[in-house]
Copies of this chain bind each other. A is one copy, B any other.
Amino acid sequence: MPEQTPTEIFDLGNFQLSTGFTLPNAKLSYKTHGRLNATKDNAILFPHFLGGAPEALEIFIGEDRPLDPRKYFIILPGLFGNGVSSSPSNTAPPFDRGAFPQTNIADDVIAQQRLVTEKFGIDELYLVLGWSVGALQTYEWAVRFPHMVKRAASIAGAPKPSPWTRLWLHAVIEEPLTSDPAWNNGFYTDPLAVQGGLRRQGHGMALTLPPDGFYREGEEVWRSIGFASVEDFVSRFWEAFMLPQDPNNLITQARKTRAADPSAGGDIAVALRQIKAKMFVVAFTGDKMFPPEECKLDAERIPNAQYREVSSIGGHLTTFALTEQDRQAMDDVLQQVLTA
């Protein structure tokens, strides 16, 4: 069995954020699978999504899986605000809880680049890939460090959130928490004091993330992924995903997602032309958050990018391989990316 580390911490020291604050004793959490080879050219970086954790998509890692740790050294870094990396929930005053400074996706990627170079001495990554907010980090990597990214795969993502996605982050992630009677500007007594808000986030996600027709009578796709009713799906999938999370941590992740922009306020078309990676832009049929037609336009703005559309019943959730068909479709597209 190849080496697999538990979650580890990379010390960033006093870390200068792009938002003008210095985060004292900043920490980047990460986990690895496999071994870095002698030529250091087998490293894959796989950042996680909003509300996720480094190990959130380990379903793609394993000896019989696309990301094979016998072949690749897979680094799973953790976002600032994920509760293990520096976050509102684990940072000392004055930056504790509701006073944690805004971090940007660019800050995450800069911290990840330090991990990759300082800790592991890697000059070039075989692949950077990510789903959703992981894809936003992938774009930031490909634009910011073009000579370090040999291959890149944005899976159901974009360089920047769309106007609809920005509305979504506000209405579905931020407002259910910030309007909760227990919120107290982020200085709640306990994360579960805000459980009403966390559950309402789950309800908003259940409403907006599955593709059209998912709930339709006669289709009822939730049945095929193991749920007994709509209410069962809302509770055991969505509420269960949100309830263990810390509200401030989620807000931190939502705000950095809203602000994501690899051009840093410049011309995104110019920024995307900097990309040197062999880039795959992967979209999911029926994805409301990153619709295929928008992903296709992104791909057209990147030199030599390839566009792939994965047809699925899961829409934005296809990544979770909730059906055997989705798992196969995801595996196939990852194989294409890895062998490009």
- A residues with a Cβ closer than 8 A to B are 162-164, 166-168, 170-172, 175-176, 179-181, 196-197, 200, 203-204, 206-208, 212-217, 220, 230, 234, 288, 291, 293-294
Contact = CB atoms under 8 A, between A and B. Distances in A.
Contacts of A217: 162-163
Contact of A179 (B164, B170, B200, B288): B200
Contacts of A214: 164
Nearest to A220: B163
Given A164-B215, A213-B291, 20 more contacts: A163-B216, A163-B217, A163-B230, A164-B216, A167-B203, A167-B215, A167-B234, A168-B207, A170-B203, A171-B206, A172-B207, A175-B200, A175-B203, A176-B179, A179-B179, A179-B197, A207-B208, A212-B288, A212-B291, A216-B294
Tally of this chain's copies: 2
B215 A171 contact: no
A293 B212 CA distance: 11
A170 B171 CA distance: 15
Contacts of A208: 207-208
Contacts of A196: 179
Nearest to A204: B171
A147 to B, nearest CB: 29
A293 B213 CA distance: 10
Contact of A162 (B168, B204, B216, B294): B216
A180 B234 CA distance: 21
